[in-house]
Structure 1
Amino acid sequence: QRFPQARQAIKYLVEDGRYDYLETGSLISIKENVENITLPSEERKIRMYPVDFEEFIIYMGEELLFEYIKNCWDKKKPLDEKMHAKAMYLFKEYLLVGGMPQALKAYKNGNKDFYAADVEKRDILELYRDDIRKAAKRYNSRVSALFENIPGYLSTHEKRVVLSKLGESNRSFDRYDEPLFWLDDSMICNLCYKCTDPNVGFALNKDDSYVKCYMGDTGLLVSLAFSENELSSSRLYQQIMNDKLSLNKGMLYENMIAQMITSMGKKLYFYTKYNKEKHRNDIEIDFLLSNESKTNLKVFPIEVKSSKNYSATSLDKFKDLFGKKIATPYIVHPKNLARKDNIICIPPYMICAAFSDALE
């Protein structure tokens, strides 16, 4: 990172043929610190994501539970209730600790010490802030403002970026194109854009001014959302784990689903429809996936519910509008696997298996 000429020299080292090489670096070294060097064409870029739930559950020594979850999905049957409760408990652990390797290692080695993980996460957040200060030179104040406001955006009902909270008018949204792109490109955040017409592909109908900004790792979101004093004891974490603390769980659940979809290599899109008479959105679909077919596009609408009691009103209205294009609607909820009126309701620990199968 501090000596870019070493990166340039890779060309000749690869040519020598005796070794393979692995280069690592932050956004600074990969995108910005390249002055006066020729980038070697031999490089093959690999995007690295936070540890996913499958990796987390195996790291925590629960390989058999993971195999059982996959088996239940394959057979489309719910887990035994005790096993479902165990899987949900592990998922909530994953939700709070996140997928940063340093945080996971501290959590496990500390005998499931949430505070030890939080210390590591705060160090990572400071590294992010350093990257923002050093790399986003032309617009670092705007990048910083967006970054620090992520918990605020996600705690609202609509969860989208609202520039008035940064002291900006909506007319100046184009000033935030590059800062938003920087946060997305650096993988600090995952951007989710509104699709105005899912009938004909998502990217073709993307509304760049209507965007949600999710944190790249949900564990980091927890540490960004709460002050260090609030999380200074594991007791608060345990209250969250046991559902005894008033908390916007929807923010965390939705962020985690965004994280999981992104790790599958998919872009994030959502859909809303405003009702002028009611002065509010009467259709809100959290995420849209597709089979990406050019000739026979099929859409998979996804709603995320953090509560056990909910309605499927938005999904029903979405089906009325786009019925011919819809393959399978999904609701992600804390309850066991179930099917209701052609909607598959899945617990979050089944997401990777379910969505991977659906998109094949």
Structure 2
Amino acid sequence: MLKRKVTHYIKKWVDSKNKKCLVIQGARQTGKTYIVERFAEENYEEIVEINFKQIPSAIDIFSGDLTVDNMVMAMRFRFPEKKIIPGKTMIFLDEIQECQEAITSLKFWALDNRFDVIASGSLLGIDYKRASSYPVGYVDYLKMYGIDFEEFLWGMGISEDMIRNICGYLSSKAAIPEAIHSQMMKYFRQYVAIGGMPEAVQKYIDTKDFREVDRIQRSLLQGYQYDIAHYATAEEKVKAEKCYLSLAKQLLDKENHKFQYKEVEHGGRAQKYFSSIEWLLRADMLYLCKLVTDIRFDLNDYARDDFFRAYTTDLSLLMAMKDFSLKQHIIENTLAGNSKGGIFECAVTDALYKKGYQLYFYKNETTKKEIDVIIQKDGKVVPIEVKSGNTRANSLKSIMKNNKDISYGYKFIDGNVGTGEDGIITLPLYMIAFFDKVSE
């Protein structure tokens, strides 16, 4: 069983006094169902699980009056082997987007407060036009992502004590011993090639066979394409799929990683495709890194909605869009050119996205200054450069020198820990998973 951080947050929700229903959001196949099932097995006497895709007829449970007593009675008739006892039974409504009345019922479960109710599913299919029926104020939300690099290390047998030991080198700004550093870079390259989709990670742990991992990745990508075909409007189906499948080319095959509609279709324009990007965003199939015109707090005030980079919500899906040979080059460390810089930039943004950061970047054609990623942390603007080697970060150095509001920045490299007098903290690429655990 893969250990996931999200389990800790579910436990906090269970222990909270003013309990609401818990809605676990996130992209498909990130392990939402598996985690809830395992949590229920370990913490409750029984679980009543209703998957509305698997058992569409279960919609009938929510077709009458949405009182808790009525719904529980309907569940007991449907599942006679279940006792459904308050405090001892978890009710898990999976793929809840398939049943609007079940979404509405969350308000009444929360008001009753006798049962712990978790709902999960995609944002796809939820009818926001029926706004009055959505249980605003009666649910807590938890966003779930694919496996991050730290969780991958747990799966590979690296203990939390060993990770704390590595973080100790960051606290002292000391170089990591080469034996540890080289092994961590090896793990990081494996993670980049596999991605964080639990099925792909588990397959690698079980088999160590990248061909088997590749098969899983391509199956997952097909599932995402199926969701586009199933949920997108007739007008958006083809356009959304074209936009999505263009991401690998946008991110890895060209020097400028700005999303360009001409890469989706010859002569493509925002007027035709921007609605498709918005649909993919709502579907948790991609996330954006927006250009800012100035590097100062609050970055969102300077963000441009029409100038952005678009990333897959997990590296597993990006890998599935490319030939198997890309994984081989990553593992063997033989990448070169735009692909090498592009893939490591994707890995860094993936880590930051899974930590919940809003992402921005900066590019000034006049001054030729460019910052790969910018985040806001503890009310401060933090610029980040990603280098496939250990080359100079001239843009980062210049911007920090001329902006007194920025007290430090990061340069993530294919190398070891280092610091400079200019306030730039140089860290190995894999440290993106731990950089926020250490005070600057």
Q: Considering the TM-score relative to the shorter chain, is it more than 0.5?
A: yes
**Cα offset for 1:99?**
0.8
**Cα offset for 1:301?**
1.2
**Cα offset for 1:219?**
2.4
Distance 1:180 1:267 in 2: 17
**Cα offset for 1:174?**
4.5
* Alignment counterpart, residue 257 of structure 2, candidates 138, 146, 159: 159
The residue that corresponds to 2:398 in the other structure is 317
Q: Structure 1 126/34 Cα, relative in aligned 2: closer, same or farther at 3 Å?
A: farther
SS at match of 1:22: strand
Of stretches 100-109 and 161-170 in structure 1, the one that deviates more from structure 2 is 161-170
**Cα offset for 1:19?**
2.3
Distance 2:292 2:267 in 1: 22
Mark the runs of 5 or more structure 2 residues left unpaired by the alignment: 1-94
**Cα offset for 1:242?**
1.9
Q: Per-residue displacement from partner, 1:183-231 (whole Å, max 9, x unpaired)? A: 23322212011000113521111122211011111122112122xxx45
Answer yes or no: is 1:344 the counterpart of 2:425.
yes
Q: Match for 1:337: what amino acid?
A: V
Distance 1:162 1:358 in 2: 38
Q: Match for 2:407: what amino acid?
A: A
Distance 2:117 2:213 in 1: 31
Distance 1:212 1:245 in 2: 22
Q: Per-residue displacement from partner, 1:79-127 (whole Å, max 9, x unpaired)? A: 11100001111111111111111111111111x2222222222121111
**Cα offset for 1:54?**
1.1
Distance 1:139 1:127 in 2: 17
* Contact 2:397–2:424 (8 Å) recurs in 1: no
The residue that corresponds to 1:205 in the other structure is 302
The residue that corresponds to 2:331 in the other structure is 241
Distance 2:265 2:206 in 1: 44
Answer yes or no: is 1:267 the counterpart of 2:358.
yes
Q: Match for 1:61: what amino acid?
A: G
Task: Determine what percentage of the aligned residue pairs are the same residue.
Answer: 27
* Contact 1:58–1:66 (8 Å) recurs in 2: no
Q: Per-residue displacement from partner, 1:289-318 (whole Å, max 9, x unpaired)? A: 22463xxxx32211101124x122222232
Distance 2:285 2:188 in 1: 22
Alignment of 1:67-82 (within 5 A): 67-82=164-179
**Cα offset for 1:176?**
3.6
Q: Structure 1 287/356 Cα, relative in aligned 2: closer, same or farther at 3 Å?
A: farther
Q: Per-residue displacement from partner, 1:131-168 (whole Å, max 9, x unpaired)? A: 22222314232221211110111121110111222346
* Contact 2:123–2:283 (8 Å) recurs in 1: yes
Q: Match for 1:214: what amino acid?
A: Y
**Cα offset for 1:358?**
5.6
* Contact 1:192–1:268 (8 Å) recurs in 2: yes
* Contact 2:400–2:407 (8 Å) recurs in 1: no
* Alignment counterpart, residue 283 of structure 1, candidates 369, 375, 378: 369
Q: Match for 1:334: what amino acid?
A: D
Of stretches 350-359 and 116-125 in structure 1, the one that deviates more from structure 2 is 350-359
The residue that corresponds to 1:334 in the other structure is 414
Answer yes or no: is 1:8 the counterpart of 2:90.
no
**Cα offset for 1:37?**
8.7
Q: TM-score, normalised by structure 1?
A: 0.85
RMSD of aligned Cα (Å): 2.5
Of stretches 323-332 and 243-252 in structure 1, the one that deviates more from structure 2 is 243-252
Distance 2:343 2:180 in 1: 23
Distance 1:44 1:287 in 2: 30
Answer yes or no: is 1:59 the counterpart of 2:149.
no
Answer yes or no: is 1:302 the counterpart of 2:407.
no
* Contact 1:129–1:144 (8 Å) recurs in 2: yes
The count of aligned residue pairs is: 338
Q: Structure 1 77/32 Cα, relative in aligned 2: closer, same or farther at 3 Å?
A: farther
Q: Structure 1 245/202 Cα, relative in aligned 2: closer, same or farther at 3 Å?
A: closer
Mark the runs of 5 or more structure 1 residues left unpaired by the alignment: 276-280
**Cα offset for 1:173?**
2.2
Q: Match for 2:238: what amino acid?
A: S
Distance 2:432 2:206 in 1: 27
* Alignment counterpart, residue 227 of structure 2, candidates 131, 134, 142: 131
**Cα offset for 1:246?**
4.8
* Contact 1:32–1:135 (8 Å) recurs in 2: no
Q: Structure 1 84/223 Cα, relative in aligned 2: closer, same or farther at 3 Å?
A: same
Q: Which has the larger radius of gyration?
A: 2
* Contact 2:290–2:305 (8 Å) recurs in 1: yes
Q: Structure 1 127/70 Cα, relative in aligned 2: closer, same or farther at 3 Å?
A: same
Distance 2:127 2:219 in 1: 23
Q: Structure 1 299/62 Cα, relative in aligned 2: closer, same or farther at 3 Å?
A: same
SS at match of 1:46: strand
Q: Structure 1 7/207 Cα, relative in aligned 2: closer, same or farther at 3 Å?
A: closer
Q: Structure 1 204/299 Cα, relative in aligned 2: closer, same or farther at 3 Å?
A: same
* Contact 1:89–1:241 (8 Å) recurs in 2: yes
* Contact 1:52–1:260 (8 Å) recurs in 2: yes
SS at match of 2:362: strand
Q: TM-score, normalised by structure 2?
A: 0.71
The residue that corresponds to 2:11 in the other structure is none
